[in-house]
Structures are given as structure tokens and as C-alpha cells.
A and B are shown apart, each in its own frame.
Chain A
Amino acid sequence: MTTDGFTPGGIGGSSPSGGSTPRRARRAGGGGGGAALRKISDGAVNVAVKEPGRFFALCLDTFRAIFRWPFQWREFIEQSWFIVSVTVVPTMLVAIPFGGILSLQVGGLIRQLGAQSYTGATAVVAIVREASPLVTSLLVAGAAGSAMCADIGSRKIREEIDAMEVLGINPLHRLVVPRMFACAFIALFLNGLVSVVGLVGGYVFNVMLQNGTPGAYLASFNAIAQLPDLLQAEFKAFVFGITAGLVAAYKGLNAKGGPKGVGDAVNQTVVITFMLLFVENFIISTLYFQFVPSKGM
């Protein structure tokens, strides 16, 4: 793996090794307007073609590195534990009000429609199908991805990654693969956690604040929701984890320019991961509704 884009070119003309005098540097030519235009077009090409291309290349290299023996179990477990430690508490703290707010909003609407006994059913569908993957994505991108990018980025800045390559170790195999799987593995559990905590939150809000009956809330649980809802949510969480791990690795491995470079990389990681996860969420949901018929329809 190299740290920059590479196109093998032809053989350059050689110059004698000694005695050639340095040539005069030419000042950058062209008018100011031309230079600005070129800068903009360079930037556009970079954003539209080069960056996604390099990211895709990294994804392919990482995919190849997955099958290299031995799998770094130790790193995987350490990273999993690390991700758990940075995500569990925030996840719960986000999930409780999320469940509550859903209950409040949907509960009110449902009561107006006269379907009060279905409050539980709507809460389950809303939380399991959409809310928990979304909360998971926020936490995976914001907490796990940023921490991972900061870690890899600071290693890059300290030249640890270069040193690793020189010592004959592939950093994708050693660092990126275990982190990516750790992220996906923990995302599965986070998704379950959000579902449970969100439902408990919804239950508490519904029963205590909206005078719902506990029996009705629980009894209607599986009126609309079905098992594939949970499975698709877990699938989403897995994909989110892989995506967040890859983006964090890509940005971290390409960090440059000292501590500020790492900060920028972390910032970009969070923004890019958010965007990718929301797009993925949309695509997976759409496909899910196409392929899995809703209950009772």
C-alpha cells in the first residue's frame, strides 16, 4: 500500500550523477484568474473523482487484507472493548429521550385517531425499524469513528504507520481490519441496546405521562412489527459499522500536516460517515420495503 496515488509512467531521461548545475526556477506562470479557475477545477476533480477513487481502492485493499492469516484477534478484542467504552453510555442517554419523544408524538397522534391500544405497536415499529439504526449510526460515526480516526491519524503523523510498513507489516491487515470488524460487531449490540432502552423509555413515557395502559402497550407489541424488522435493523447496524470503520481508516491514514491535520481528518470522518450512513439507511430501508411485505397487508 502506498500513501499517495500512483501511476506507473515511462522511464525518465537520466542525468549524470555529478556536476549538473541546478536550473533556475520558473515562477508559477499564468494570470491570477486562470490560476484560481484551475484551483477550483482541481478541487472539483478531487472531490468528485480522486477522493472516492482512493477510498474505493482502500476498501478493496482492506477486503484483500481480511483473508490474510492470522486474524488479529487481540487487536479486535481490544478495539471492541474500546468502542464499547466510548459508545455505551452516550447510546443509552440518547435512546431514552428518543423513545420518549416518539411515544409523545406518535402517541398523541394515535389517540386522536382513536387507536390508543396500538400505541405499543407503533412504538415498536418506529424504534426497531428506523430509530435504533439511526441512533446507532449517530453513535458509531460520532463516537467510534472519530475516536478510531484520531487514533490512526495520530499514528500516521508520528510516522508509526510508515515505520510499520518499513518493518514489513501491512497496516491494513494489522490495524484497519480488526478495527473495522470491531466497529461492526459492536454496532450490532448497540442496535439491540437502543431498541431495548428506547422501548423501555417509550413505555415509561406512555404509561406515566400519557395515561396509557401497560397491558395495551405490551399486548400490541407484535401487532405490526415482525422478526425481519429486527433482522434488517441488525443488518443496517453491521453495514454502518463497516462503513464507519473504513471511512475512519481512510481519513486517518491520509492525515497530514501535524496535529491540525488529525483534527481535520476527524472532522471530515464524522461528516462523511454521517452522510454515507444516512444514504445507506435510506437505500436499505427502500429495498427492505420492496422485498419484505408488511404484516397484515
Chain B
Amino acid sequence: MNRAAEFKKIVAQYCSVTAEDMTEEMRFREDLGFSSLDFMSLLGELEDTFDVELEQENAVQVRTIGDALNMLEELAA
């Protein structure tokens, strides 16, 4: 499974939008219904799954699926 697909599968645990229906423009809070704590929990899960370390201060700036994927790409590069 590629990174984007695995990422969307994790995000889908927190909302009722399926990984297949997820688009890069979707916003975590407004479109996917994430609470602030859902989002924090997701960040922790991303760290464990992709073996990266996220700076909480930067990570909380992420708004959309696309933002989060870009952040992961940069960290993994």
C-alpha cells in the first residue's frame, strides 16, 4: 500500500468518509468532523505508522488531507 492510501485508511477510522471517497481538499474539522482531540490522536498514529516525528506546533497548522500528505512527504524525504 502506498503512503497516501495508508494515510487515508488511518484517517477513515475517525470519520464516516471512506478512504476511497477522500479528496485532498477535504478539511479535517469542517468536512470530516474531526474534534481537536481526534486530530491530535491521528498525529500520534501517523508518527507510529510512518516512523516520523511531528512537531506539534507545526502539525496543528495542517487543515486538509492534502496539507497532511505534503507534511508526511516532506518528513519522509
Please determine whether chains A and B interact with each other in the same assembly.
no
A-side interface residues toward B, CB under 8 Å?
Answer: none
List residues of chain B with CB under 8 Å of any chain A CB.
none
